[in-house]
Structure 1
Amino acid sequence: MESITTSSYAVHFNQLAYDAINAHLRATPYSKIFVLVDENTKRDCLGNFKNMVSDSSDYEILEIPSGEVNKTIETCIRLWEELSERNADRKSLLINLGGGVITDLGGFVASTFKRGIAFINVPTTLLAMVDASVGGKTGVDLGALKNQVGVINQPEMVLVISEFLKTLDQRQLKSGFAEMLKHGLIRDSGYWEVLKSNSDFSDIDRLIYTSVKIKNEVVLQDPTEQHLRKILNFGHTLGHAVESYFLENESLETLLHGEAIAIGMILEGYLSKELTGLPEADLEDIKAVFLNRYPKTKFSEADIETILSLLKFDKKNSHGDINFVLLDKIGKPVIDVKIPPKLFRSAFAYYSEA
């Protein structure tokens, strides 16, 4: 499987990934190499990774607790302090071995420590492989508000090794699959049809490759999200608000990112029917696909009120306007759509009555 070249680095797959990092490490005299893990990737992935990488016995391990709740500036401060205590300098390398929390936070830590050290991302979840692998977005949450602090900065390379997916449960795999379904909705109706019929994650290497390729094509045309790259946010404006609401309420079970975005795509599919001409048949198709794969969530009026209040913190907002990505049809997005407030409740009603 050929590597995918972005504007400044390459995404390498499986054995080619190990070949690429070993060649890179032989050619680059890093002063120190650190590997950032959480307790899960330390247990399930670190051993295999080190067995395939040259001179890995010299690497120093940094560990943080798993989970979105730890994607905070406080975690960054602890890691900056630990890097300093271990004499990391500007010629050090940080390898981020984990899911989206590790790659987002680790990339931010590397990008800001001593004004920037090199980093390599090794995503170990399906979500991180198809989403965080391309685009250079790094950052942390501000309380329950997703990705409010960060920078766009590119890694030296990204290594996608599908063997790590064997460490995941079905819920985590489904979470990542939601982002892949999004790629079909915003860019390729044929890919959407292929994904719809895939219920057992068969041929996952080829599907991951297609999703990474789709995202890379978008980012290459708009690296700083001024226009086209905004389409990658379909389902995320309301989806992130839902995710944040469940994250900050200890009495509620936290939703995984893909589960929240699946809800967001149904809600924003409804808005698309109302505002940008998405055919009723396409909306029903979107609703059926996501409700068949992801558990339905109940929302009270109080829940909806609080979720809608979180929209004002969305990163895509400009000049006080909340900007949405909607669909004209499956595979054809429309950016920067303003939503009449009354339609938000109608969208939740559509979801609740489904």
Structure 2
Amino acid sequence: MESVKSQTYEVHIGELAQAALNQHIAKKNYSKIFLLVDTNTKKHCLPAFKKMFSAPIDSIFEIDPGEENKHIHTCLQVWEHLSNFDGDRKSLLINLGGGVLTDLGGFVASTFKRGIDFINIPTTLLSMVDASIGGKNGVDLGALKNQIGVINQPQMVLVFPEFLQTLDPRQVTSGYAEMLKHGLIRDAAYWADLKEKNNFTDASSIQKSIFIKNDVVLIDPTEKGLRKILNFGHTLGHAIESYCLENHNKKTLLHGEAIAVGMILEGYLSHELKGLPKLALDEIKETFLHYFEKVVFDKDDIDSILKLLKYDKKNSHGDINFVLLQSIGDAVTDIKVPEELFRKAFDYYAE
């Protein structure tokens, strides 16, 4: 399957990925090779990875899985491990895991010794099509998503679709939300095809999503303009994710589950402010509620979620900036939303 070329690296899928990894290692002559895993990928993915990787690994470091561990304290543990095992600027860190691990591992590598090489090997659908692509690396600040980080590209991203067989269905569906988002913001035909698919984990669908995200990142690598469209559903979605993470009375949502809610809400805002047709809005809502369980929000929940909007990374000069849809496949950025529409959006979601 054709690799996806970015400015400074490539995304290799399937058989090409194994060959690309071993060729890269043979060429670079790294002083140390470190592998970062979490409890799940150590058990389910590490044995297969060792069989396909020809070079010796100097040290493997394991972290706890989950968004609640994506913080600076975990970074400190990994930095200390790299230092204790004589990591230097010619070392390599391979990140074998989902979006939490690749985000955190990329940040650790980008800041250790002022930057060492890293390779992402995503093991969840979400990380394959989104988190490991584009060079965004970072950690949360408390429950606030991705407040600390850098943009720095990996040496390569290696996608092995067989790792998806290790996931529970909920994790797979979480990644599906980001794939659907790619269609909504950039490719109406992809949206139409993908929302009808029974199997959205096939290599061609994964490749298509990677192509869409990579194309956007190539045009705007540092998120000055077009790249902001990748945040559709994320302004309210991140606030919902953070709120549910820190509120023990609410079920903790996976990233894709929260973003699915966010896309329905921001779809409503798109209808009100940018002329997204009502039929398209209802199609978006129907599609996401078919795959994602509806979340119940009371007035206090909504008040708390809206207070979190001020921490969104896209904000500027005190303004909350939204990505909205003019039509399916056509997104616009930097839209200011009147506050009274937020509650109407939640009303529409609850209907």
TM-score, normalising length: structure 1: 0.98
Q: Give distance in 2, aligned partners of 1:284 and 1:178.
A: 16
**Residue in 1 that maps onto 2:173:** 174
- Structure 2: which amino acid aligns with 1:78? Q
**Residue in 1 that maps onto 2:305:** 307
Q: Give distance in 2, aligned partners of 1:276 and 1:308.
A: 21
**Residue in 1 that maps onto 2:28:** 28
Identical positions, percent: 65
**Residue in 2 that maps onto 1:212:** 210
Secondary structure, aligned partner of 2:216:
helix
- Aligned pair count reads 351
Deviation (angstroms), 1:244 = 0.3
**Residue in 1 that maps onto 2:185:** 186
- String of CA shifts for 1:272-291, please: whole Å, max 9, x gaps: 00000000000000000000
Q: Give distance in 1, aligned partners of 2:85 and 2:332.
A: 48
1:326 and 1:333 in contact (8 A); partners too: yes
1:100 and 1:127 in contact (8 A); partners too: yes
Q: Give distance in 1, aligned partners of 2:338 and 2:200.
A: 38
Q: Give distance in 2, aligned partners of 1:102 and 1:176.
A: 15
**Residue in 2 that maps onto 1:42:** 42
Secondary structure, aligned partner of 2:102:
helix
1:237-316 alignment, distance < 5 Å: 237-316=235-314
- Structure 2: which amino acid aligns with 1:151? V
Q: Give distance in 2, aligned partners of 1:129 and 1:88.
A: 27
2:183 and 2:190 in contact (8 A); partners too: yes
Q: Give distance in 1, aligned partners of 2:53 and 2:17.
A: 10
1:133 and 1:212 in contact (8 A); partners too: no
**Residue in 2 that maps onto 1:157:** 156
TM-score, normalising length: structure 2: 0.99
| Aligned counterpart for 1:234 among listed residues 232, 235, 239 | 232
Q: Give distance in 2, aligned partners of 1:225 and 1:200.
A: 32
Secondary structure, aligned partner of 1:150:
strand
Secondary structure, aligned partner of 2:136:
coil
- String of CA shifts for 1:112-132, please: whole Å, max 9, x gaps: 001001100000000000002
- Structure 1: which amino acid aligns with 2:34? F
Deviation (angstroms), 1:249 = 1.1
Secondary structure, aligned partner of 1:95:
strand
Deviation (angstroms), 1:73 = 0.4
Q: Give distance in 2, aligned partners of 1:272 and 1:302.
A: 24
- Structure 2: which amino acid aligns with 1:18? Q
2:99 and 2:132 in contact (8 A); partners too: no
- String of CA shifts for 1:143-166, please: whole Å, max 9, x gaps: 000000000001110001101000
**Residue in 2 that maps onto 1:116:** 115
- Structure 2: which amino acid aligns with 1:155? P
2:103 and 2:132 in contact (8 A); partners too: no
**Residue in 2 that maps onto 1:18:** 18
1:272 and 1:327 in contact (8 A); partners too: yes
- String of CA shifts for 1:157-188, please: whole Å, max 9, x gaps: 00011010000111001000000000000001
- String of CA shifts for 1:224-255, please: whole Å, max 9, x gaps: 10110000000000000000000111232210
- Structure 2: which amino acid aligns with 1:15? E
1:199 corresponds to 2:236: no
Q: Give distance in 1, aligned partners of 2:108 and 2:328.
A: 37
Q: Give distance in 2, aligned partners of 1:104 and 1:309.
A: 25
**Residue in 1 that maps onto 2:9:** 9
- String of CA shifts for 1:97-141, please: whole Å, max 9, x gaps: 000011000000000001001100000000000002321000000
- Structure 2: which amino acid aligns with 1:279? P
**Residue in 1 that maps onto 2:321:** 323
Secondary structure, aligned partner of 2:118:
strand
Unaligned runs of 5+ in 1: none
Q: Give distance in 2, aligned partners of 1:346 and 1:279.
A: 17
| Aligned counterpart for 1:341 among listed residues 339, 342, 347 | 339
2:22 and 2:53 in contact (8 A); partners too: yes
